[in-house]
Amino acid sequence: MAGNRQIRALNVAEKPSVAKAVSGILSRNQARVREGRSRYNKIFEFDYTIRGQPIHMLFTSVTGHLMELEFDDRYRKWHSCDPSELYQAPVRKTVPQDKLDIKRTLQQEARSCQWLILWLDCDREGENIAYEVIEVCTEANRNMNTWRARFSALIDRDIHEAVQNLDRPNQSFSEAVDARQEIDLRIGASFTRFQTMLLKDAFHFDFATEDRNLILSYGPCQFPTLGFIVERYWEIQAHEPEEFWTINCSHNSEEGTANFSWMRGHMFDYTCAVTIYEMCVEEPTATVTMVRQQEKLKYPPYPLSTIELEKRASRYFRLSSEHTMKVAEELYQSGFISYPRTETDSFSARTDLRAIAQEQQAHPVWGPYAQRLMDPEADLWRNPGNGGHDDKAHPPIHPTKFSAGESGWSQDHHKVYELVVRHFLACVSQPAVSAETTVEIDIAGELFSACGRVILAKNYLDVYRFDTWGGSFIPTYMLGQQFAPTTLTLDSGVTRPPPLLSEADLLSCMDKAGIGTDATMHDHIKKLLDRFYATKDANTRFSPTNLGESLVMGYDDMGYELWKPYLRSKMEDDMKAVSLGTKRKADILASCLQEMKACFLDARLNKVKLFEAMGIFFDRTNRTGAEEQQTIGGVVRRCGLCQQADMVLRRRQDGKFMVGCLGYPQCRKVVWLPGSISEAAVTSNTCNVCSPGPVFLIQFKFRRLEIPPNYSVDHLGCIGGCDDTLRQLTEICGTGPRNPPGTSASVRGQAPTTTSGRQAPTTTSGRQAPTTTSGRNPASNVQRGVCSHCRQTGHSSNGCPSQVSTSGRARSRATNHTNGGSSVPCNSCGEPCELRTANTANNRGRQFYSCQSQECRFFVWEDTINDGGVGQNASHTNARGSNATSGRRGGRGRGRRGGGGGGRGNDTTFVSATGEPVSGRRCFSCGDPSHFANACPNRGM
């Protein structure tokens, strides 16, 4: 590093407070301050010397992570794709909008600097942030020499030592975090979208104030944490109290009372217990068979790690882990304790522990103990034990600066600081010493024991007020001594379930199973509370909510142990291997995501288990979640309406198929498919005709009885518009039953119809009259006193002077006085054509006239008569057997297909989606012409 030319070095800390503290230490509070692009991240300037090299230091900061990992824009919206695609969708790291000013500051200062010194936290997360800063700075200056400062406390000694011993960044640590971020993003996003879209609109959640903002989140760490809570809750619920019996003995002497416990513990068999008790009562003399006296030690705790800090603060002060870490972080940034996120529970041999303890001698409460600790004659000092954990980044948590209490501290600041100091003083102290006496006696062959303890030296217990070691006196007994028990009783009791998990218990479970890290465990617990998955009582014990329990129950019923810690524990082991360089990031990403995608697909196929579990706790709504229409195949094509989301094959609740946009409800683009489909699956084949592509073909299987006999039950079709067969079957079979027997019209805006398919009359109050069986519309449907042809008053339509007859067959609409309905004469045979109502997807509810004669097939829309429209003989435009090809869709004619020739007489006539008559069609199940086969009431008989 030696050189004469002064070097400009850009220093970057993880937080503004750390930048200010380090700059103050290195510059001895002489740094000049100026503003950066971000108002919160100031720039400090001062001169310094590193190993003889003059350095002009520019010191600024970020605010945690500078970048966010996110999906490409194509996949970011919830309805933009099938959630299963998120396991391979492209991801990228970008600087979010609210941190662009920090990026501009870094790049502006980097252009004039030769060095980049990173003062980020010395854990994996800090290393990852370091590489984010490197990426941003090297965009502006690729020739920067990058260094890493490693420190654990914001005190002079640590900071000066760190800057004089600069290191290089650890890429393996950063890649481990990258792997975790990508795994969590893909798994969390896929399951969260799936759960939320599936369930939030399907049930009434009693805790949700705004259903539209409800997020049913899933996290690879969050869910196993919930699993611990639910599992303990289930153990309690499943517990059945069982009665047991035990024999208790006591003996009073001049020295006091000794209580002896039965060495069998207890018995569940009452008869056996009574038998043994009666033996003891018959021969009650007690003989002392063993007297053992020994010295016992109670060792002080190991040095303080993050998990232990959270557990002990919860146990001693009932502080939540999340709040404990917030307070500890503030104490660290103020320089009073070391870095609070550490897995290490053993001090390095280089640490000057006596200097740390010596600083506490002035405290009014524990200062006298610290003075005894420093006194060699007291023989109280002991080098701390080794807990066996070392994260190679930070030492255990310990006090770094003396304080008798700052004016700005809350009670929780005092408590956490006190815990850190007392814990440190305890771990460098001698263990407590006691003398224990154990006495065993024999009564009729049954053994009983009693134990007494006398504290000889409290040692660390004098300062660590949180620990207790109760002593109990026991009279003096001699080997072989005999006496008569004062009491000898047979007592009963019942077994009790384990208690709910406390926060300390939950942290222990997570730590043992490897769920999360010391820096993130409290966040996972907080999310469970924020998402209404669990609650915490005043004793810091957790219970699952109905929502949390039902989610775990649903996945458990599927047979998947997503709520168990095994999967996440394996992921954490893999990520640790990446940080150590023994595994490659790409390898663990591939294996982990492949396993979780298969699990996701299986869970989606078994989503009914989630519905069943939710149904136990919550009432169903009449709304349908977007995911409740099950996605049963892959993407069919890109939506041509919203141009943002994919269209996928779905199956509705009634079993019918459709191709819908994933952007629902924002985009309602849908392609309805024939109601006669029994099976459908998207293939990898694409259509060569439809554009824009690709449009993937779908393999259909139809129900034989619901399609005409000359159609195949198997069909590889395209929904892009080029498939005649698919379109024809949609027109023949419809898209599913519309009006089940005994119900009113189910399609919004569609009036109820009579049994012959005609529209029911309207009452004078505006309501629909009940469905009748007369098959006729009353004349009251035609406005009285107004010609329905020319809309003039004074005459009726059959006497309208503006009408012109053609070949003796009038085209005007006439009122059929015989049956009370409307009709027009057929322009081919002159027979009256009755008013009918279309029942197809495109023209549902629209009325038309058609001739019942199979030879004529005359047809005209009712609403085109007054607009000058004329009837048409469908046989000239629609018959497949004719030479005419000028049908209403690009010359593709549609007519009878293999269905019935003449002789139908006055059978009901259906119309196609465009209104063209489709004569000769009837139910292919029972032959009734009044309905399609997929709505046949005899279906399945």
| Rounded Cα gap, residues 290 and 383, in angstroms | 37
Helix (H) or strand (E) holding 543, with range, is strand 542-544
- Count the helix, strand and coil residues of the chain and give each as a percent rounded to the nearest 5: 30, 20, 45
Q: Helix, strand, or coil here: 309?
A: helix
| Rounded Cα gap, residues 631 and 540, in angstroms | 42
User: What is the Cα Rg of the chain in Å?
Assistant: 42
| Rounded Cα gap, residues 439 and 250, in angstroms | 13
| Rounded Cα gap, residues 36 and 325, in angstroms | 29
AA identity, residue 503 = E
Catalytic pick among 339, 369, 477, 555: 339
Q: Enumerate the H helices of 536-641 as residue ranges.
A: 546-558, 566-580, 585-605, 608-617
| Rounded Cα gap, residues 184 and 219, in angstroms | 7
| Rounded Cα gap, residues 858 and 936, in angstroms | 27
Neighbours of 761 (CB within 10 A): 20
Q: Measure the CA dihedral 529/535/540/541, to 10°.
A: -130
Position of tokens 């259903």?
211
Structure-token pair, residue 868: 């000058």
- Given a contact cutoff of 8 angstroms between Cβ atoms, the answer to whether 858 and 828 are in contact is yes
Q: Give the DSSP letter of residue 855.
A: T
CA 473 → CA 479, 487, 735, distances in Å? 18, 19, 87
| Rounded Cα gap, residues 204 and 355, in angstroms | 61
Structure-token pair, residue 698: 């779908």
Between CA 301 and CA 305, with CA 302 as vertex, the angle to 5 degrees is 115
Bridge partners of 740, per DSSP, are: none
CA 73 → CA 100, 261, 579, 644, 647, distances in Å? 19, 70, 30, 10, 17
Helix (H) or strand (E) holding 470, with range, is none
Position of tokens 């554009």?
691
Position of tokens 């004529």?
856
Note if 339 is an active site residue: yes
| Rounded Cα gap, residues 720 and 344, in angstroms | 62
| Rounded Cα gap, residues 792 and 807, in angstroms | 26
- Given a contact cutoff of 8 angstroms between Cβ atoms, the answer to whether 334 and 375 are in contact is no
CA 79 → CA 12, 602, 629, 646, 671, distances in Å? 39, 20, 13, 8, 17
Which phi and psi (to 5°) does residue 447 adopt? Answer: -100, 140
Q: How many residues does the chain have?
A: 941
User: 3-state SS string over 3-50?
Assistant: CCCCEEEEEEECCHHHHHHHHHHHHCCCCEEECCCCCCCCEEEEEEEE
Q: Enumerate the H helices of 149-170 as residue ranges.
A: 156-164
| Rounded Cα gap, residues 696 and 224, in angstroms | 39
Q: Is the dihedral of CA 873, 877, 878, 879 positive or negative?
A: positive
**What burial letters (b/e) apply to 822-836, b meaning 16+ CB within 10 Å?**
bbbbbbbeebbbbbb
Helix (H) or strand (E) holding 100, with range, is helix 100-110
- Give catalytic residues, as residue numbers: 339
